[in-house]
Structure formats: C-alpha cells, structure tokens
Chain A
Amino acid sequence: MCLGIPGRILDIRDDFGLPMGTVDFGGVRRDVCLAYVADAVQPGDYVVVHVGFAISRVDEEEAKRTYEVLKEMSQLEELEWMGEVADKAIETGERTL
C-alpha cells in the first residue's frame, strides 16, 4: 500500500467540496482525490498517488533534468572506461582501438 504510483491527471471536478479527478496510470483510469495538490495542478500534470490520494505533483522538467544528468554521467563513465581500456592496451602493446 506504500507503493505510490505516478499517473497523469485527465480531468478535475468538485465532489461536494472535495477536489477529485480521473487519473490515467498507463491506460488504467481511476478516481483520485486531488484535495492536497489542487492548488498546484491542472489536467495533463503528473502526480504520485497513494491509496486514492494524490500526495505530490511530479515536476516533469525536473524529471527530465535528473535523467539527462544521469545519462551524461553514465556516458562520461563509459568514455573514461574506454580510455582506461585504451591506455592498458597501449601499455601491453595490444592496441585494439
């Protein structure tokens, strides 16, 4: 039950004073209470949902930025690794690159 699932808000409505909305989880749609994020979201935004409640908005820009940074880091690692292999190959005289 502690597993929060990210989903995309399709619509927002008022249910007797309680902000509710339909949220799409990769094709599965559910009614979700949006009371805690109502001021910060609009249809199209992503939210983390726990037991039928949106508990946080997912910042898409930030998600993209984090991923780009991680990707860049991993490419850097790979370049360094290739460099090390190349250096070793030079030392041992087995040039493969």
Chain B
Amino acid sequence: MRYLSEYRDPAVARGLVATIQKTATRRWVMMEVCGGQTHTIVKQGLNELLADQVEMIHGPGCPVCVTPLEQIDKALAIAARPDVIFTSFGDMLRVPGSDCDLQAIRARGGQVRIVYSPLDALQLAKANPDKEVVFFAVGFETTAPANAMAVHRAKQLGISNFSVLVSHVTVPPAMRAILADPENRVQAFLAAGHVCAVMGWTEYDPIAAEHKVPIIVTGFEPLDILEGISMAVKQLEEGRHEVENQYVRAVSREGTVPARTLVEQVFGLADRKWRGIGEIPMSGLVLRDEYMAWDAETKFGVGGIHTEESSECRAGDVLRGQLKPHQCPAFGKACKPEHPLGAPMVSSEGACAAYYNYGRLREPEAAAK
C-alpha cells in the first residue's frame, strides 16, 4: 500500500531517533497502550535504540490478555453444550481456562469455530437454524463496532438462535486505574491509534489535565511510534501535558461517529474484571436491555461462574507495567507459546509472546553516564 512502506523508512527513523536523543535530558517512563504498538517496539528494537532516553512500559491493550479467567470458563461451559456452535476470533482458542481451553473442547467433539468477523458468526446462525450459535465478543473499542453491528443485525433480521458472550473493555478507565496506582511510574502515554480512530480523543483531555500526563494518539508503524515518542518527550521536557495527535491520517477528534453511535446504542457501561488487574469501575461494555435477548450469559445461565486466577502466572504484574515479561520466573520455562500459563504468551498482541518471539530476553539497560 502507498504510505505504508514509507512509514518503515530506516533513514527517516534514524532522524527521529537522533531528535529524541537530542531532546531528552533524562530518562522518561512512558507506556504504549496497545499490544500492536508493543510488537512494533519490541520487533524493531526501538526500546533498545532509545534505552537512555525512554523506558517503554507495555500497556494492557491486548484484548485476549485482559479477558478474565471466569469469562473463559463461561465460554468453555457454553462451548461444551451439544446444541451450541461456539465461534470466536482465533487467538481466544488457546487461552487457558481453569481446566482446559477452547481447543480442548473442540478435540472432545465440541463445535468450536474460528471466524474472521462477527458477521460470519451471524451468517452461521442463519445457515444452522437448529443450532445455537454463540460468538465470543471480546476486545476494546476497535472490535466493539463490529460486535455491536452483529447484535443489531440479529435483532433487525429476527435471528434468535444467535447470541454473544460479551467481554468488552474500554481503554480510558484502564489508563485512569494505572495512573491512580500508588506504584505508578508512567509519565506519558502513547494512546492506541485505532481505538481513537473509532472513539476520537475527547475522553483523554480530562485524563491528561487531571493527572498531568502527555497523551499522544499514536499509530503502529515504526515511524509513527518514533514520532509519538518524540512528541511525548518534547512535552515532558517542556513541562506540558496535552493530548496531541500523531496519527492524523486515520484519527479525527470526533472519531468515526456512525460507529460510536451504534456502539452506544447497543452497549451500556458496567464494572468489569480485567485478568490480572482486577475490577475496574465502569470499564466494561454490556448489552443494553433492548438487546438482552442476544446475551449468551443470560441465555445459557452461566452468569454465576466465578473463578479465582492462578498465582503462577504473573500476567497482572506485566499488564500493569510492574514486571517485564522476561523477569517472570516462568518465562520461557514453564510458560512458552506452545504451553502458555497465561494469555500474554498466547496472543499475537501479548507482551510475553513479543519478548519470546523476538528474542528480547534482556532488558535494555541505560548506559552508565
């Protein structure tokens, strides 16, 4: 695509690195919110290139990683039913629940299918009127418009054998929770560009003002990330704390209004548990009353499932930025992509998988001055 390869231009990247090195008078701590950004940073070694200027803390923006264990257990309970075809994005299949994962349910004869879009799941419901088709609706604001549309279409078309197991979370409450943590070290955020493509960035203005943190809406290519870091460093050095948009080509202040509108029509806000982090007030989306007939949790009576998380997996510390993946005692030993203990090692967007796959086993140290 035009203007995709350009955003990987090494010569321009070197220029941006030089700018950041010249601007920073000390080492700043910043968090990239999105797992997609984590992968670019770790894959390209941007955190190593800029080790003296910034410490990058990898944020909780990996939907698979933050889906709580009890939601996985609910999915497993529903998927095991003989009358159900359980559909999901591929990365959820290998996330361990209390006793097994969705793949194991499939091996035991359960009908578990990977779909690319929730509309494919709806199509499956239309084609199988004698079956209940359930879609695992996980993700952040980026997948919410797709999942909202699937439910809305099901209602419009009167498809009653379709339902969604909702495990949706939103980014701004998580950023607030990170900043409110007494152990917080984050001084600036690179906000997730595609979340903002949908939602715009007006929600971030009060966060930047109240907590005095620069927030830069940032894209996903190496040059986007470097420019985002550069803008954040400049603000920190100048003592400013504003919301700025690096990702102008895809994000406007208001976001994609038709998408926001339908998300707000279909979903309301509720408290939601995050895996490894705990409950964050008003951080989750749930179906509104008008759409409750398509709620799988109610339909299959699994709302009562509550599960405590295992202590061996330190995903919570990783997701809150208290621990780097390779510092976990289980990393690369008891926990590998082939037999993960927790979701961050499973997901293509998980920080643990990024460190494992790109061989970043050592934290870049700031050089002694």
Listed in ascending order, the chain A residues whose CB lies under 8 Å from chain B are 1-4, 6-8, 16, 18, 25-26, 30, 33, 35-39, 46, 48, 50-53, 55-60, 62-64, 66-67, 70-71, 73-78, 81
A-B contact pairs, 30 of them (CB 8 A): A1-B139, A2-B34, A2-B63, A2-B139, A2-B349, A3-B220, A48-B194, A51-B146, A52-B120, A53-B149, A53-B259, A55-B145, A56-B251, A56-B255, A57-B250, A58-B249, A59-B249, A62-B248, A62-B249, A63-B249, A67-B7, A70-B227, A73-B16, A73-B19, A74-B15, A75-B15, A77-B14, A77-B18, A78-B14, A78-B15
Given contacts A7-B1, A26-B1, A60-B3, contact A35 B18 (CB under 8 A): no
Complex CA–CA separation, A53 to B258 (angstroms): 12
B143→A1 contact, CB < 8 A: yes
What residues of B have a CB within 8 angstroms of the CB of A60 in the complex? 2-3, 249
Chain B contact residues: helix, strand, loop or mixed: helix
- For residue A34, give the distance in angstroms from its CB to the closest CB of chain B: 10
Which of B149, B220, B223, B249 meets A35, CB within 8 Å? B149
Residue of A nearest to B89 (CB): A1
What residues of B have a CB within 8 angstroms of the CB of A52 in the complex? 116-120, 146
Residue of B nearest to A20 (CB): B119
Complex CA–CA separation, A1 to B89 (angstroms): 7
Complex CA–CA separation, A9 to B272 (angstroms): 37
Complex CA–CA separation, A38 to B255 (angstroms): 15
Interface size class of B (residues with CB under 8 A): 35 or more
A4→B142 contact, CB < 8 A: yes
What residues of A have a CB within 8 angstroms of the CB of B18 in the complex? 74, 77-78, 81
A55→B198 contact, CB < 8 A: yes
B146→A50 contact, CB < 8 A: yes
- For residue B88, give the distance in angstroms from its CB to the closest CB of chain A: 10
Residues in B251-296 with C-beta less than 8 Å from chain A: 251, 255-256, 258-259, 262
Interface status of B35 (Cβ within 8 A of chain A): yes
- For residue A64, give the distance in angstroms from its CB to the closest CB of chain B: 6
Task: Count A/B pairs, Cβ under 8 Å.
Answer: 152
Residues in B67-116 with C-beta less than 8 Å from chain A: 89, 91, 116
Interface status of B325 (Cβ within 8 A of chain A): no
Residue of B nearest to A24 (CB): B1
Interface status of B28 (Cβ within 8 A of chain A): no
Listed in ascending order, the chain B residues whose CB lies under 8 Å from chain A are 1-4, 6-7, 9, 11-16, 18-19, 34-36, 61-64, 89, 91, 116-120, 138-140, 142-143, 145-146, 149, 153, 157, 192, 194, 197-198, 220, 223, 227, 248-251, 255-256, 258-259, 262, 348-349
B197→A55 contact, CB < 8 A: yes
Complex CA–CA separation, A64 to B3 (angstroms): 7
What residues of B have a CB within 8 angstroms of the CB of A77 in the complex? 14-16, 18-19
What residues of A have a CB within 8 angstroms of the CB of B256 in the complex? 36-37, 55-56
What residues of B have a CB within 8 angstroms of the CB of A67 in the complex? 3, 6-7, 12, 223
- For residue B328, give the distance in angstroms from its CB to the closest CB of chain A: 22
Complex CA–CA separation, A46 to B170 (angstroms): 26
What residues of B have a CB within 8 angstroms of the CB of A63 in the complex? 2-3, 249
Sort A-B residue pairs by CB-CB distance and give the 9 closest, nearest first: A74-B15, A52-B117, A56-B197, A63-B3, A36-B259, A77-B15, A63-B249, A62-B249, A4-B194
What residues of B have a CB within 8 angstroms of the CB of A7 in the complex? 1
B9→A71 contact, CB < 8 A: yes
